[in-house]
Amino acid sequence: MLKIRNPFKSVIKTKQAVNNAPASHFSDPLQQQIAEQVEHCYQVAETYLGQTFPRPEISFALRGKSAGTAHLQLNKLRFNAALLQDNLQAFLNDVVPHEISHLLASQLYGRVKPHGREWQSIMLSVFKVSPRTTHSFDTRAVEGKTFEYFCQCGPIELSIRRHNKVLRGETQYRCRKCGSTLQSS
């Protein structure tokens, strides 16, 4: 059994009014469902752990291939609205508890590994969710522009970020198979 340390006890006591506030209101119905699920998960955690937690700020401004992120110091959850559109049930069942578990692990145990035993324990014991670290959503709709490079094996796609680093002369990339330096077309 993991020992729970709570360095935020005074914060939790002063945020009591926030904890009893209704979930955030979003005009988008899917986003509102996520906000309600965040509140539900916090209520489950508080019942299971026997203590209250400050509610996080919720944002749907996350871009790219990540479904969600937890910003520990800011007590903020960011979700990817584009991926939410096609994966509502997975967000409700997996992504929301996953991100909340990061915040709770930080608040209960202090600085821990992002997907370490403390986080895994919260996922399993509190939320009864398998502690997977990645999703398997179709991310083609949110993929950024890619650039074709070549090696001895053939063409390889680089992200715009990596392409720009090559253009600025900051780095060179090598093929993992043949070891040759990638060249643009």
Give the catalytic positions in this structure.
99
Q: Within the chain, where are the H helices?
A: 9-14, 16-19, 29-49, 81-86, 88-90, 96-109, 117-121, 160-167
The single-letter DSSP state of residue 86 is: H
- CB contact at 8 A, 130 and 123: yes
- CB neighbourhood size of 137 (10 A): 20
